[in-house]
Structure 1
């Protein structure tokens, strides 16, 4: 549909893939989102969930799209060497990163993980990919009706949040992020203001947080708090702790819904439409 706007989750787990019987319902693949806005296709992060998405793309018609990285920790980039469209010259993939604070380039990181003895296939074999940089806080340039805004997040090594606005609807992705940096926390309520959907890093609970302070992740309670401050319609808890079972995520979901009706827990295959 020409005006279709949606987000599909291909990976929702944090830190490391978690296959197994206790993670079947919510999924064990790491960060990967598909966003459709009319004819535009955007991929956010290329974690292990991107492998399945890549195979799906090769069966479809889309051949040109943008790949936006929130950051380049392994759980958000490990799917790129297994992302089939990246090797196919019939595709055009523009890969963006804006979180670097020291002059590092995205291609430098990809070349490091795709080199012996870590990986046998070099980054230069990614024939379809063009690497570009921006600075978190800038808009991503486009020539269509989709507006992509960005913001700096609080995470070791830096991270970038995204807001997608299309025909009066909005989707925000706020991961990986740890609350507590005053400069970042001051900006976020305005950045997500009025969003229809907000993906938020809810790796921990408030009770767990003291043991993991400084790791770069937040809690479901902070997701609810930000949703309330920003008048967000549907907060979606994301970046699930790899220790977290489906049953435990069920419990968190119930508590979050009680605190902020409409809150969802992200799962693989989930499709959300503003």
Structure 2
């Protein structure tokens, strides 16, 4: 395992400001969902949702339609695999990766609150020396670094297996919000600081003339939209956004670092986002409530999607 700032085989190409479907839902099959209908596409580019919940996993009979795992997304850019966040959904993705050894992938973290990293100690393909993983984080530098944080997570008395047991070729790359990353030729990732306790980072992945934005965890301003995020997501084909609370729930949760689906809709409208994806669902929201939210957002902005585990979207 190696630690350091982004270098060869994945690099920071610009530092802008230091801090300034085959859509398959859980248990069901649906036709491919294409966000950018009518566009000529030359290379494979899609996002798959392996975990869509916030705060804590909530498996059970009341969440089978939308899923109960915490945040984890997979993007395919041609033959390259990008993973975003390492919540409990990572374990489900890991089941598939075990059938595709050797695996070469980049894993980007929005931040390291527990619901976004609790799947990492159980990431079995990271224990296989045939695999290669590059780990990225932009919220820790300069006070901390990603490798030391994950070592602390996987240490006595919290966890019985140290990170050193992971035998995959792993490197750790810290950057700062505002950096532009180029993990591989043809893949450009813009980043921005999000409004969340202890910082978090939003990502815009640009590939083959299309874009997918991943914006979680963040809290909207009292008025208007966050200009940093609006700039990051401007004109995006797909925006995945932290819509944890309803408007009725939000007043008692101000300052928690999360947003609402209506605030995400305002952002999507202001920034010219094509497809808005409601994400980071409250674990207290069961399938019936998620159905009501899905109906309301579809009425307010047709084409809006509520994330489900197993869903695949193609811009």
TM bucket (normalised to shorter chain) is: over 0.9
Distance in 1 (alpha carbons) for counterparts of 2:164 and 2:65: 37
CA RMSD of aligned residues (A): 1.7
After TM superposition, the structure 1 stretch with the greater mean CA deviation from structure 2, 160-169 or 175-184, is 175-184
Match of 2:118 in 1: 78
Partners of 1:50 and 1:80 within 8 A in 2:
yes
Match of 1:111 in 2: 151
Partners of 2:225 and 2:267 within 8 A in 1:
no
Distance in 2 (alpha carbons) for counterparts of 1:2 and 1:111: 41
Displacement of 1:142: 3.0
Match of 2:131 in 1: 91
Displacement of 1:61: 5.0
Distance in 1 (alpha carbons) for counterparts of 2:225 and 2:215: 11
2:227 matched to 1:189? no
Distance in 2 (alpha carbons) for counterparts of 1:140 and 1:48: 26
Among 254, 259, 284, which residue is 1:218 paired with?
Answer: 259
TM-score (norm 1): 0.96
After TM superposition, the structure 1 stretch with the greater mean CA deviation from structure 2, 137-146 or 115-124, is 137-146
Correspondence 1:199-238 to 2 at 5 A: 199-238=240-279
Partners of 2:225 and 2:266 within 8 A in 1:
no
Partners of 2:141 and 2:174 within 8 A in 1:
no
Instruction: Kindly provide the CA deviation profile for residues 157-194 of structure 1, in whole angstroms up to 9, marking residues without a partner as x.
Output: 10000001111111000000011289981121121111
Instruction: Kindly provide the CA deviation profile for residues 91-128 of structure 1, in whole angstroms up to 9, marking residues without a partner as x.
Output: 11000100125521111221121111110000111222
Distance in 2 (alpha carbons) for counterparts of 1:117 and 1:190: 43
C-alpha spacing 1:196/1:62, structure 2 compared with 1 (3 Å): farther
2:207 matched to 1:166? yes
Distance in 2 (alpha carbons) for counterparts of 1:84 and 1:30: 18
Among 264, 268, 271, which residue is 2:305 paired with?
Answer: 264
Partners of 1:5 and 1:273 within 8 A in 2:
yes
Distance in 2 (alpha carbons) for counterparts of 1:116 and 1:150: 34
Displacement of 1:63: 1.8
TM-score (norm 2): 0.84
Distance in 2 (alpha carbons) for counterparts of 1:165 and 1:228: 20
Distance in 2 (alpha carbons) for counterparts of 1:62 and 1:144: 20
Instruction: Kindly provide the CA deviation profile for residues 50-109 of structure 1, in whole angstroms up to 9, marking residues without a partner as x.
Output: 011112112015521100000001100000011111111111100010012552111122
Q: Which has the higher contact order (CA 8 A, sep 6+)?
A: 2
Correspondence 1:10-25 to 2 at 5 A: 10-25=50-65
SS at match of 2:276: strand
Displacement of 1:146: 1.2
Correspondence 1:110-149 to 2 at 5 A: 110-128=150-168, 129-149=170-190
Partners of 1:205 and 1:220 within 8 A in 2:
yes
Runs of at least 4 residues off by over 3 Å: 181-184
Among 42, 55, 66, which residue is 1:26 paired with?
Answer: 66
2:311 matched to 1:247? no
